[in-house]
Amino acid sequence: MLRLGTREFGDDELVIMAIVNRTPDSFYDQGATFTDEPALLRVERAVSEGAAIIDIGGVKAGPGEDVSAEEEIRRTVAFVAEVRRRHPDVVISVDTWRHEVGEAACEAGADLLNDAWGGVDPKLAEVAARYDVGLVCTHAGGVEPRTRPHRTGYEDVMADILRVTVGLAERAVGLGVRRDAVLIDPGHDFGKNTRHSLEATRRLPEMTETGWPVLVSLSNKDFVGETLDRPVKERLIGTLATTAVSAWLGARVYRVHEVAETRQVLDMVASIAGHRPPAVARRGLA
C-alpha cells in the first residue's frame, strides 16, 4: 500500500503524477504554466484526465539561469496553497532538492517531496519526516543539480541505482518518514547516458523486487529523443511505448506531461494484466 496525503493506492494501481512547471524556461513548454491562471487550468485538466498527483516545480532540471531558494519558494509555495484550497483530495508533490523549499511547501499543504537530485541536501528527508509527508528517492549519479552528465560510466548501472535509492529510502525511514510514503526512482537521464536509461528501464523488475514502489519520470526525455532521433515535441509515441513497458515491468507511479494519453496506456496495461476490467464489454455478448 502507498499512502500519500489523504489517498491510499493499492498495489496494482497505476498512478499518474502530472507535471506543472512554474518556470519560464521549461524544456517542454517554455514557460506555458509559469503564471498562475494557465498553471491552475493545467491542474484542473490534469485532475479531470486522471492524475492523482500534481508535481509542482520551480526550477528546470537542466542548466540555465540561477534560481535562488527564495525565488523557488516564490514560484511554488503560494501556488501549492491555492491548489490545496481548490483540490483538497489531490496529492500535491513539490519537485525540489532544497530543504528550505520543502519546508515552505509542506507548510502550504504539500503531501510529497520529489527529490530528483538524489539526496544532495540530506536535510530534505528530515523535513519529510517532520511534516509526515512522502519522499521520492532518486538516483542521479552523484552529479550536481542542474548539470548534465559528462562521460558517465558505471560498472553496473542498476546495481548503482539500487545502492543509492534503497540507501536513501532506508535512511528516510530511519529518520521517521513513513515506509508507505517512500518511493524510489531510477532517474532516467539524470547522471546517465541514453544506454544507461534504456538498461534501467529493462531492468526495472530489480527495483520492484526491493518492495519499494517505483516512480518513473520518462516523459519526453532525451533518452527517448536520442533512441528515436526525435525532437522534444515528437517524443510522445516513444514515451508511451516506454510507459507501457515500465507498467508491465511493475513501475507504480508515472510523472508525465500528457495525462490523458498516459491514462489510456496504463489502463490498457492494467486490463491485459488482469487488474482492471474493460470499461465496456459488448463484443460477442449480444
User: Active-site residue numbers?
Assistant: 221, 255
Picking from 97, 93, 121, the residue whose alpha carbon sits closest to that of residue 106 is 93
Q: How far apart (Å, rounded) are the C-alpha atoms in residues 127 and 142? A: 21
> Contact at 8 Å (CB) between 193 and 145?
no
> Which residues neighbour 64 within 8 Å (Cβ) at sequence distance 6 or greater?
25, 146
3-state SS, one letter per residue, for 78-90: HHHHHHHHHCCCC
CB distance 215 to 243 below 8 Å: no
The grid coordinates of residue 152 equal 558517465
Q: What is the largest CA-CA distance in the chain?
A: 64
Contact between 179 and 132 (Cβ < 8 Å): no
* Nearest CA among 142, 141, 150, 145 for reference residue 62: 145
Report the alpha-carbon distance of residue 107 to residue 67 in Å, rounded. Answer: 21
Measured between alpha carbons, how far is 285 from 122 in angstroms, rounded to an integer?
Answer: 58
